[in-house]
Structure 1
Amino acid sequence: MTSLLSALLAVVVAAGTAIVIVESLHLVLQRLGRRSSLLCDLTTTAHRPFLATVTVFAVQVAVRGFAGEFPGRGGVLHTLVILVIAAVAWLIGALLLVLEDVALAKWRIDVPDNMKARRLKTQVQMLRRVTVAAIVVITLGVVLMTFPGVRALGASVLASAGLISVIAALAAQSTLGNVFAGLQLAFSDAVRIDDVVVVEGEWGRIEDLTLTYVAVQIWDDRRLILPTSYFTTKPFQNWTRTGSAVLGTAEIDVDWSAPVESLRAELRAVCEGTELWDGRVCVLQVTEAVGGMIRLRALVSAHDAGSLWDLRCLVRERLVTWVFAHRRDSLPRTRTDVGMDHGYAGSALDGNAAASPARGRRGGLDRRGDDEAVDDARVFSGTGDGDERAAAFSGPDEKISGAAEPTSEPELPVVVTPSR
């Protein structure tokens, strides 16, 4: 009875002393934390695990050193050892959270140029998850090794480790594949948190990236959950891998009589009148002329994918409104030729050829003014980043060695038409 009372007294004194010391240290760090964000995070996150670790350790030392023999002493000491191991693991996990906050404090992701911050956040979160999983596994292993029976079993387990590892690898093949795929994604920069992607026909952003799955937030607030191995085995579009600025198109079909230059001027006015446009690309081109209509493609640029979507819709709406308001005769129409006077058509064609003698000489096109073409009609040339884009999609502009340049125009063959 005396030994039990002394044990209880030692536990109370040790626990009280530990609590007083930890709380006093906590108050001091709170005052210092007003000037240091690191100390502030430390006192907030690591307070409880540090208190638990110090208290349990003090109680264990008191029971071992000051308490005598009492019934169940061995079981109590074993329980305290397990609690110390668990408390230390909790403290290490809390310190990891503090280190993560310190690493990410200097890098914000709510700014326009946040590519480095998103990469760092992805890697830090992945490392934290791996480290926490390792801490849990190691803690469980250390706790099990405190039991004498498990230590004896460990020798036989190690003897058959080869067979067990093969069986475990076969049983958890898909899980291990996702884990390694998650690590590969975190450090290969193929995809990062807050990246805008197009996957499985859906457009969204990477909301969360774990060791086993990736959560994609779709534009309409749905969530698409995919295994991490999907992004290492199947193709997908990443719109923000090197930057958030992107290009987009808005297409409309109009009649052949539509004034392209006037529509091009309207596109320029629309882009310059909205903050959605980033000032890089504003181009209108005729991409198709089949089926009795021509297709106009407006290529515009924006700072990010969300702004690009709104800009594309705005451009399409304004161009359609302009055509309907100013050139209603240029709306898409279907022509049906029920009869044709071939003689009149032939004379008209001959008249056109006579009126434009430069057509036969220059391939049917009057190219006067080509050098004065506006930049809004060019994608891979002109001012802005057109020349840079052209260089990225073309090979080296070098002449083949040994090729002789023509010194004069080639002679045309003479065609003799027999007289009737």
Structure 2
Amino acid sequence: MKTEFLTLLTHLRHLLDWLPGLMSSVLMLCAAGLVAEMFSRFITKLILRIPGSRRGAFVRSFTLAMQRPARIMLVLLFVGTALPVSGLPADIMQDTAHALVVLFVLMLGYAALVATRILSDAYFNRINGKDDKDDILLRTHMTQVRVLRRTTDLLIGLVTVGASLMTFEPVRQYGLSLFASAGAASLVVGLAARPLLTNLFAGVQIAMTQPIRMEDLIIINGDWAWVEEITSTYVVLRVWDWRRHIVPISYFLENPFQNWTHNSAALIGVVFIHVDFQAPMDRIRERLREIVHSAPLWDGKEFAVQVADCNAHVMTIRVIASARSAMQSWDLRCEIREQIIAFLRDECPEALPRDRLTHVGSMSGLDVMEGPGVLSPPVSRPPPGAYTGPRSGMSGGGMAPTDGGQGHG
């Protein structure tokens, strides 16, 4: 086929002898490119006729996405094949051949990038069709494919640019010189590219070991944040108030952090309630049970009410309730607080926290609060020994006299 193609171009070259030499050569190369274009369109139409709802649809979509780089590469190949019989001067032919090689290498790298994107997107569409969006396996595959795709894109870009530059003689000689002095060159390059290489290898390690995944909920700098994007060098974290943390990917291999959705999205939420010692625990426990069991956010697994602590003023009730995710756990805790506060306020006011103040007299009968200028204004007090019972709490700083007399002070 190649021989017939070259013979056809030779006949075309002879038919254009009446034109200037350079113009006829250019027209012949354009004709070769036109033949490649027509051949590419013919093959594309044949492939698009492949039947099938699943595999056939993928082949058709892959063909449509790859037709542009494939068509350009085919044109470059046909023009390069026709170049020896084009009749161009030797120097122009050499420069043109070199330009065609560089363009072919670049288009080959571009085609590899497009193919990588198409395959990864097809895999994303397949796994995103699942109903369970909190599936650990689903988020694991999404993380691995995203990280590996970006790493592959970087490697393809480096190899493509390097291969195209190596077609130039000065660059090739420079590369050979660096290879000859590989000891010093590798040391310098390694030190200069250490941060890039660290993050690059960290990205591959994260894709394999999975300390974080796409849409994982983690705690960083005291903020709740979701893993929004994982690149080859950094991670984008989305905070609940729409702020974004941009963190080097190596951070997650060198520093401890909390991952609330590593094995499961379900969490146990905790609510603390401070009540008075006179609070009826049976009624409060029963009301909390009603609140949690009727809440749609509760997953039906964990629930408990306990007096977890107490001090000189209040006792602390701890309520635990599980939910399917961190955000549902947050909303469930807020709902529990709102309803139990309303219950205590309306039906158990004696359970609300309060401060107590009791004034106890001294054993000698001389009140520590007595004395000129201690109480202002002075209050009536009973004489020593007039009251033998225990002193109770006072709201005005003293006790009314029992004999109608004025107290000391």
Do the two structures share a fold, i.e. TM-score over 0.5? yes
CA–CA separation in structure 1 for the residues paired with 2:348 and 2:309: 20
Give 1:56's aligned amino acid: L
The answer on 1:13 being equivalent to 2:31 is: yes
| Equivalent residue, structure 2, for 1:101 | 121
Aligned Cα root-mean-square deviation (Å): 2.3
Partner of residue 354 from structure 2, selected from 317, 325, 333: 333
Task: Quote the offset at 1:110 in angstroms.
Answer: 6.5
| Equivalent residue, structure 2, for 1:172 | 193
Pairwise mapping of residues 25-174 of structure 1 onto structure 2 (< 5 A)? 25-32=43-50, 35-36=53-54, 37-64=57-84, 66-70=85-89, 72-108=92-128, 111-174=132-195
CA–CA separation in structure 1 for the residues paired with 2:123 and 2:195: 32
More moved, 201-210 vs 42-51: 42-51
Q: How many residues align?
A: 344
| Equivalent residue, structure 1, for 2:344 | 323
Give 1:20's aligned amino acid: M
Give 1:325's aligned amino acid: D
Give 2:87's aligned amino acid: G
Query: SS at 1:46's partner residue?
Result: helix
The answer on 1:308 being equivalent to 2:329 is: yes
Task: Quote the offset at 1:31 in angstroms.
Answer: 4.5
Change (3 A) 1:328 1:32: farther
User: Could you tell me the TM-score, scaled by structure 2's length?
Assistant: 0.78
Change (3 A) 1:339 1:38: same
**Deviations 1:143-187 (CA, angstroms, capped at 9, x unpaired):** 122112222232211011221111122222222222222222111
Task: Quote the offset at 1:20 in angstroms.
Answer: 2.3
Change (3 A) 1:256 1:340: farther
Task: Quote the offset at 1:341 in angstroms.
Answer: 12
| Equivalent residue, structure 2, for 1:374 | none
Query: SS at 2:122's partner residue?
Result: helix
Change (3 A) 1:224 1:103: same
Task: Quote the offset at 1:272 in angstroms.
Answer: 2.2
CA–CA separation in structure 1 for the residues paired with 2:51 and 2:256: 48
Change (3 A) 1:235 1:33: farther
| Equivalent residue, structure 2, for 1:200 | 221
CA–CA separation in structure 2 for the residues paired with 1:39 and 1:147: 37
| Equivalent residue, structure 2, for 1:248 | 269
CA–CA separation in structure 1 for the residues paired with 2:301 and 2:46: 55
Task: Quote the offset at 1:344 in angstroms.
Answer: 7.8
Change (3 A) 1:288 1:138: same
Give 1:55's aligned amino acid: V
Change (3 A) 1:22 1:258: farther
**Deviations 1:233-261 (CA, angstroms, capped at 9, x unpaired):** 11111011001111111212111111222
Give 1:10's aligned amino acid: M
The answer on 1:24 being equivalent to 2:46 is: no
Change (3 A) 1:152 1:31: same
CA contact (8 A) 1:287 1:295 kept: yes
User: Could you tell me the TM-score, scaled by structure 1's length?
Assistant: 0.76
**Deviations 1:315-372 (CA, angstroms, capped at 9, x unpaired):** 1111111111110111111112223899988xxxxxxxxxxxxxxxxxxxxxxxxxxx
Change (3 A) 1:243 1:5: same
CA contact (8 A) 1:323 1:331 kept: yes
CA contact (8 A) 1:53 1:91 kept: no
Query: SS at 2:302's partner residue?
Result: strand
CA contact (8 A) 2:203 2:231 kept: yes
CA–CA separation in structure 1 for the residues paired with 2:152 and 2:109: 11
Change (3 A) 1:6 1:125: same
The answer on 1:286 being equivalent to 2:307 is: yes
Pairwise mapping of residues 229-248 of structure 1 onto structure 2 (< 5 A)? 229-248=250-269
CA–CA separation in structure 2 for the residues paired with 1:245 and 1:132: 35
CA–CA separation in structure 1 for the residues paired with 2:246 and 2:239: 10
Task: Quote the offset at 1:42 in angstroms.
Answer: 0.5
CA contact (8 A) 1:255 1:331 kept: yes
CA–CA separation in structure 2 for the residues paired with 1:112 and 1:146: 48
The answer on 1:217 being equivalent to 2:238 is: yes
Change (3 A) 1:290 1:28: farther
Partner of residue 277 from structure 1, selected from 294, 298, 301: 298
Task: Quote the offset at 1:122 in angstroms.
Answer: 1.1
Pairwise mapping of residues 343-358 of structure 1 onto structure 2 (< 5 A)? none
CA contact (8 A) 2:212 2:262 kept: yes
CA–CA separation in structure 2 for the residues paired with 1:61 and 1:282: 77
CA–CA separation in structure 2 for the residues paired with 1:300 and 1:231: 30
Query: SS at 2:127's partner residue?
Result: coil
Task: Quote the offset at 1:193 in angstroms.
Answer: 0.9
Identity %: 32
CA contact (8 A) 2:151 2:200 kept: no
Query: SS at 1:198's partner residue?
Result: strand
CA–CA separation in structure 2 for the residues paired with 1:309 and 1:29: 53
Give 1:319's aligned amino acid: I
Could you tell me which runs of 5 or more consecutive residues in structure 2 were left unpaired when the two chains were aligned.
Answer: 1-18, 364-387, 391-409
CA–CA separation in structure 2 for the residues paired with 1:31 and 1:285: 70
Task: Quote the offset at 1:202 in angstroms.
Answer: 0.7
Change (3 A) 1:97 1:216: same
